[in-house]
Amino acid sequence: MRLVPNAILKYFGREGTGAWLFTLSLSLRSCAIKLFYMIDIYLVLFSFLFSCVVTLYAVPSLIKLAYQKRLFDDPALEERKIHKYRTPNLGGIAVLTSFTFTACLSISGSVLPYANYIFASGLLIFLVGLKDDLTALNPYKKFLAQAITALIVVYFADIRLTSFYGIFGIHDIHPVISYLFSSLLIVFIINAFNLIDGINGLLGSVSMIVSITFGYIFFRMQEYGLAILAMSMAGSVIGFLRYNAGRARIFMGDAGAYTIGFIVSVLAIQFIELNKVQGITPVDGSLIQSVPAVAIAILIIPIFDTLRVIVIRLIKGKSPFIADSNHLHHRLLDTGMTHTQATLVLSSFNVLMIGIALSFQQIGTVELLILIGLVALLMNSMLWLYDVRQVIVQPPTLVVEEDEEKIYQLRDHAREVAEEALQQYEEKQHQN
């Protein structure tokens, strides 16, 4: 069957026909590339908007279910709790459902071949977190489950770090060290995101910033599968923030925090490794340099906060695994800030660090890490100076001896009265 009419062949001749066909093929190829590019843009936007809408519709049903089944995070059970009212903590169910459904709907096997391992591991870590939300789980069992989750994606999906990029003078690392270090890094990031879930809106805001940043970078790198993964998570978190920011009607819970931390750890490792493999200027002419430092800047709030509390606990001679109130959000609340104000301060600092890292990425990995560390320590020093000032200006307090038994009796009675009143209020709210 002839693809070119005889009249055209006679007009152009043999050589002219070849040139004409070559030009035609280039034009068709250019149109196809533009078409696929537009399809990818719309697919990424669809994943973001659709996951947001699904979460917006799913969360109210979970709130209603929690009140019916009395599944709450009760502040009376732990003195560290900042919130004053019993609040449902099943928000992670909505986030995981909308994220997984949207990502599976939008991602094909060709753009993300190892997606099955990511979703399998994500489901496992979600179930561990959900178990911990409903009935407290042994810490050793949680760490074991987190380690298994990390090993699945590190070994089967080969999502791991293969180089230290000159940090400590180390570049390429042995595969065994790569497997172990990458697994520990994933476990660390999972718990780091769980630890910042201490005030209303903070985990959601930081997760939104991190996911959108990775989504934009992966889209520029033409890694559309990872871009859709990141934007699906961003949309899910934004939908959840509608009910968690300000006076929270629902909490994320460990199920949501673990899932978000796991997905973000996968995105961070792939961000570092894909930039290493390419090592060339992307299509748009930009170049991501010093990628480990840039990745740390993107995750600066959970990473710095976790390292900070671990160091403080060790200095005080305490176990790094015993919870306390020394997190950054606790310190900001101590200065008189509200939950919303503290969340805005930490989120703004996260955006600032991302801007600094991208602006100074050319100075080198080690140098950029030092700069990021100095800026983070400067913020920590400001909180320390506030503590010193409070100690200096605070007047001495009088020590009054009281009957402890009577105090305990009054406290228990007050708690019973408050719980009964709160239960009546919740039932009335549910009826309305």
Quick one: 53 and 130 in the same domain? yes
Quick one: 204 and 154 in the same domain? yes
> How far apart (Å, rounded) are the C-alpha atoms in residues 432 and 426?
10
Quick one: 43 and 125 in the same domain? yes
Directed axis angle between helix 253-278 and helix 202-220, to 10°? 20
> How far apart (Å, rounded) are the C-alpha atoms in residues 273 and 283?
18
The answer to whether position 4 is within a domain reads no
Per run of 10 residues, the mean pLDDT along the chain (length 432 residues) is 48 50 49 51 90 94 85 62 71 93 88 92 94 84 93 94 84 92 96 91 95 94 92 96 87 93 97 72 60 95 94 86 84 88 94 95 91 92 73 54 53 62 62 56
pLDDT given at position 51: 95
The answer to whether position 336 is within a domain reads yes
The answer to whether position 114 is within a domain reads yes
Quick one: 415 and 270 in the same domain? no
Quick one: 365 and 422 in the same domain? no
CB of 136 closer than 8 Å to CB of 160: no
DSSP 154: I
Quick one: 108 and 229 in the same domain? yes
The answer to whether position 421 is within a domain reads yes
The answer to whether position 181 is within a domain reads yes
Quick one: 182 and 236 in the same domain? yes
> How far apart (Å, rounded) are the C-alpha atoms in residues 205 and 196?
11
- pTM of structure: 0.81
Quick one: 330 and 224 in the same domain? yes
Quick one: 305 and 413 in the same domain? no
The answer to whether position 347 is within a domain reads yes
Quick one: 262 and 384 in the same domain? yes
Q: How many structural domains is the chain composed of? A: 2
Quick one: 222 and 333 in the same domain? yes
The answer to whether position 372 is within a domain reads yes
Quick one: 75 and 218 in the same domain? yes
CA distances from 197 to 23, 96, 251, 358 (A): 58, 16, 9, 27
The answer to whether position 297 is within a domain reads yes
Task: Return the H-helix or E-strand segment holding 15.
Answer: helix 6-69
User: Residues 163-199, buried b or exposed e (16+ Cβ, 10 A)?
Assistant: bbbeeeeeeebeeeebbbbbbebbbbbbbbbbbbbbb
Q: Which domain holds residue 297?
A: 39-393
Closest CA to 343 of 214, 207, 194: 207
